[in-house]
Amino acid sequence: MIRDTLTPRADWQAKVEASGLVWHAGADRLYWDESVCYRFTGAEIDRIEAATTELYRLFLAAGEAVVGDPALLARFAIPPAFHDPIREAWEAEPPALNFGRFDLGFDGQDAPKLFEFNCDTPTSLLEAAVVQWEWKTECFPALDQFNSLHEALVARWRALAPALPATLHVAHVADLSGEDAITAAYLRDTAEAAGIATLPLLMEDIGWHHDDHCFVDASAMRIEALFKLYPWEWLVREGFAPHLLDNLARGDLFWIEPIWKMIWSNKAILPVLWDLFPGHPNLLPASFTIPIGDAVAKPLLSREGANVSIRRADAIIAQTAGDYGDEGYVYQSLYRLPEMAPGCFPVLGSWIVDGAAVGLGIREGGLITSNTARFVPHVIDG
């Protein structure tokens, strides 16, 4: 694994915007950064792919353990009224895109290590699937890239299409940066490429029809299938949570992703995994109590690296602010990311679609990867 310094394309902004990535720079720094790239050998990619496939197997076992143990499920800070809907969805296996991004630590030598699984509302999708592929095709046409993510998403939608109603609503919040809007629009593109008709929808425009006991869009059209780029842990705490329970009991709306994704996306899954598979080469020790030794404290429910702290020798050496943590924390042994350049620590986002490892995206930032971390492309060379 080598970090190369490059000269960006002269018109790179126009090219990534043409691909849909209008959010390519933050207030203080670039988000899409093609002044560097990572080079992997084929053997290194094989190890990342194998680790991703193995981690999916471990998550299946952990999910089974959680839904089968009421006391364990209670550790996830999920409102008790939603425990049965989670169990029922897990057993019923409703239609699901079943995709996500394993965030991994990897130094090119030891086994890749799991940090967490973003599988309810994973972002950095368009840049991983499309933008970096187009960059590679133009800049390094003779090299390869670990990237069949776009094709895998289209194929998965095509497999789901016979089970879905005529229209799929795709919802997101009206975010100022445009990141959620971009991700939702890209997912609509992949669904439509599979022959599924879609409609855009803002989360705040979802309504409830009291007589028909169903969710509707701003035009009062019944929502029968919904992909929502909005966390389940927020949904179950909204004012319309009682209507959500009613809807889940009726089972007449396809939620993509299903409510059981609340288990996998919750940091409480990390101690469960370690208890089930102690010493596994792709896992880091994790617990619900502060361990002896260096560790990372993570809220059960958090996003974009918020409220994370790194503890070394009983001192906090790095931390991020945020509004999370009231539900509790887990503690994961500290993994020392390779510092590939001063202040540059890469986290590998390994994508999976329905159990298959299909691509890689890299975020490069400080000791804690936050929403200001850069996305940098990669190639396979050797």
CB 334 within 8 A of CB 290: no
Residue 262, domain member (yes or no): yes
Percent of the chain with pLDDT over 90: 81
Number of domains in the chain: 1
User: pLDDT (tens digit, 9 = 90+) per residue, 13-27?
Assistant: 999 999 999 877 765
Residue 191, domain member (yes or no): yes
Domain span at residue 232 reads 2-266+337-380
Residue 306, domain member (yes or no): no
Confidence tier at 64 by pLDDT (50, 70, 90)? very high
* DSSP output for 96-126: ---EEEEEEE--SSSPPEEEEEE-SS---HH
Residue 294, domain member (yes or no): no
What is the reported pLDDT for 326?
Answer: 76
CA dihedral 98, 99, 101, 106 (to 10 degrees): 90
- Helix or strand (DSSP H, E) at 273: helix 269-276
> 42-67 and 269-276 are packed helices; what angle lies between their axes, rounded to 10 degrees?
100
Tokens of 311: 């503890």
Spell out a b/e string for 44-64, using b for 16 or more CB atoms within 10 Å of the CB, else e. Answer: bbebbbebbebbbebbeebbe
What is the average pLDDT value for the chain, to the nearest integer? 93
Q: What counts of helices (H) and strands (E) characterise the chain?
A: 12, 19
Residue 56, domain member (yes or no): yes
Residue 366, domain member (yes or no): yes
Counting beta carbons within 10 angstroms of the beta carbon of residue 216, is it exposed (0 to 12), middle (13 to 18) or buried (19 or more)? middle
Cα distances (Å, whole numbers) of residue 234 to 78, 94, 174, 228, 238: 10, 21, 15, 12, 6
What is the reported pLDDT for 315?
Answer: 81
User: pLDDT (tens digit, 9 = 90+) per residue, 170-194?
Assistant: 999 988 777 899 999 999 999 999 9
Q: Is the confidence at residue 72, as pLDDT, over 80?
A: yes
What is the reported pLDDT for 155?
Answer: 98
Q: Is the confidence at residue 254, as pLDDT, over 70?
A: yes
What is the reported pLDDT for 27?
Answer: 58
* Weakest mean pLDDT among 247-261, 293-307, 313-327: 313-327
Tokens of 356: 């298959």
Q: Which amino acid is at 330?
A: V
User: pLDDT (tens digit, 9 = 90+) per residue, 94-124?
Assistant: 999 999 999 999 999 999 999 999 999 998 9
Residue of higher predicted confidence among 89 and 302: 89
CB 105 within 8 A of CB 48: no
What is the reported pLDDT for 349?
Answer: 97
Confidence tier at 301 by pLDDT (50, 70, 90)? confident
User: pLDDT (tens digit, 9 = 90+) per residue, 343-371?
Assistant: 899 999 999 999 999 999 999 987 766 66
CB atoms within 10 A of CB 279: 7
Q: Is the confidence at residue 144, as pLDDT, over 70?
A: yes
Confidence tier at 266 by pLDDT (50, 70, 90)? very high
Q: Is the confidence at residue 314, as pLDDT, over 80?
A: no
Residue 86, domain member (yes or no): yes
Supply the pTM of this predicted model: 0.94
Query: Is the sign of the CA dihedral 170, 19, 159, 54 positive or negative?
Result: negative
Residue 273, domain member (yes or no): no
Q: Is the confidence at residue 324, as pLDDT, over 80?
A: no
What is the reported pLDDT for 197?
Answer: 98
